[in-house]
Amino acid sequence: MTEMSAKTRKTIQTQAENLSKKVEHFTKAEIECLIQHFNSLLADQVSRGKAAHGLDRGRFRGILQNVFGLTNAMMMDGVFRCFDKDGDGTVTVEEWIRGHAVFLRGTLDERMKYCFQVYDLNDDKYISKEEIFHMLKQSFIKQPTEEDPDEGLKEVVEITMKTMDHDHDSLLSFEDFKKSVQAENLLLEAFGTCLPDPMHIKKFEQLVFQEQHEQ
């Protein structure tokens, strides 16, 4: 076991060396930790009989739910889409670490880009009213007295659109989104939680980066 780990350790170190040049926000040591963590996650998946070079969608969603406390299925798919840059259905080590750079340490700009990408369901660089409506569909509790249960939600979408759509084309471009978020930070995750909250980040960082100290 120790031999194995010595061997893997070396690969990890070289991997980290490479990645630290490509990814911001993390030190080399931290990247090493992340790789180790990723490998252990991958190992679980492998042991279940699938050899893979990355995390599949189901596994990834499991992690999002258990580790980062995300619950909305649509959002989790969006997050996966963002992580999985090449769109091959798996998240590789590099994608994992790139994703986490935003997830854990992203600047406001990076997080805005990321969130916009999550919300742009059809990837056409615009968020439409329909997309918003789709994303928020589960968010409204139907009121028994309401004649049309979607009425309220439609209204909320209208109001939101009015405040965020600065160029009045009934579509949210990234510029619109950016402008709105800069004016009111709360609008960053306007259409669904797709970033972990500070508590989860702290817990995750403790879990992953403290392994380093222990070793």
Binding site for another protein (CB under 8 A): 72, 136, 138-143, 152-153, 155-156, 159-160, 163, 184, 186-187, 189-193, 197-199, 202
Measured from the CB atom, the residue of 8 and 128 that comes closer to another protein is 128
Taking the least distance from each CB to another protein, the nearer of 90 and 160 is: 160
Least distance in angstroms from the C-beta of 121 to another protein: 15
Going by C-alpha positions, the residue among 95, 97, 58, 61 that lies closest to residue 76 is: 61
Of 38 and 209, nearer to another protein (C-beta) is: 209
Toward another protein, which CB reaches closer, 3 or 147?
A: 147
To the nearest whole angstrom, how small is the minimum distance from the Cβ of residue 31 to another protein?
18
Tokens found for residue 85: 């840059």
Angle made by CA atoms 30, 80, 78, in degrees to the nearest 5: 125
Least separation in angstroms between residue 179's CB and another protein is: 14
Q: Could you tell me the two tokens for 190? A: 């306007």
Q: Supply the angle between the helices 73-83 and 129-136 in degrees, to the nearest 10.
A: 120
Do 73 and 60 touch, CB atoms closer than 8 A?
no
Instruction: Compare residues 74 and 82 and give the one whose CB is closer to another protein.
Output: 74
Q: What are phi and psi of 172, to 5 degrees?
A: -95, 110
CB of 198 to another protein, least distance (A): 6
Q: How many CA atoms lie within 13 A of 147 on its CB side?
A: 0
Shortest separation between residue 166's beta carbon and another protein, angstroms = 13
d(CA 121, CA 78): 7
SS3 call for 91: strand
